[in-house]
Amino acid sequence: MNTLEAMAARYSYRGTYQNTPVPREHLMKIMEAGCAAPSGCNLQTTSFIAVDDPETLARLHALLRKPVGITAPAMICVLSQKLPSYHGRYYHVQDYGAAIENILLAITDLGYASCWVEGYVTDEHAIGRKMADILHVPEEYDLVAYLPVGIPAEEGPRVKKKPLTDRAWFNAFRKTQ
């Protein structure tokens, strides 16, 4: 798929998935895409665990409070290390934002669907930490999001976006020409 086509085709899919497994080769390509994203001072603070073992998936799904992606045959868990960078500042959130976007585009490019699930994973219920424990992730890494991977069973709805004229300008704020 062409890069710009993949960006236009990507959307947050919250429906059910077909039961077709995702080949390891594809999961590896997807994680490789995540690793290809830039990171502040090249600290490479983001890493990934692809989960395709049905028993491990079932244990992770049992922790979730919303059913997004629980029928997907695979899931990418996104791990982040909060490492100090330039002048003691942190860029790990920007890093995993960029890495996740690459992963979502690779998932789309390979014919799968996904959804960036973060909000309730890292809130006061600390579900991310419980998921991390199942995956034997040490405390220095935070599990900040999960991304289901699989062939969608249907076409899901797309969110409405603001017109470009509300977000993209030339040479000054809100100048559209």
Name residues contacting its own copies, limited to 59-118 (CB under 8 A).
Answer: 85-87, 89, 91, 93-102, 104-106, 108-109, 116, 118
* Residue 77 backbone dihedrals phi, psi, to 5 degrees: -95, 130
Verify binding: residue 142, its own copies, rule CB under 8 A: no
Verify binding: residue 141, its own copies, rule CB under 8 A: yes
Pick one of 8, 58, 62, 126: the residue that binds its own copies (CB under 8 A). Answer: 8
Q: How far is the CB of 39 from its own copies (least distance, A)?
A: 9
Q: How far is the CB of 90 from its own copies (least distance, A)?
A: 10
19 or 158: CB nearest its own copies: 158
Verify binding: residue 126, its own copies, rule CB under 8 A: no
Q: To which residue do tokens 């330039």 refer?
A: 86
Residues 27-56 that bind its own copies (CB under 8 A): 27-29, 31-38, 40-42, 44, 46-53, 56
List Cβ neighbours of 58 (8 Å cut-off, separation of 6 or more): none
> Do residues 16 and 153 touch, judged by C-beta distance below 8 A?
yes
Question: Strands 74-80 and 142-149, how do they pair?
Answer: antiparallel
Q: How far is the CB of 171 from its own copies (least distance, A)?
A: 5
> Do residues 60 and 133 touch, judged by C-beta distance below 8 A?
no
120 or 153: CB nearest its own copies: 120
Tell me how far apart the alpha carbons of residues 115 and 146 are, in angstroms, rounded to a whole number: 8
| Of 176, 174, 33, the residue nearest 110 (C-alpha) | 33
* Residue 116 backbone dihedrals phi, psi, to 5 degrees: -80, 105
40 or 128: CB nearest its own copies: 40
Verify binding: residue 154, its own copies, rule CB under 8 A: no
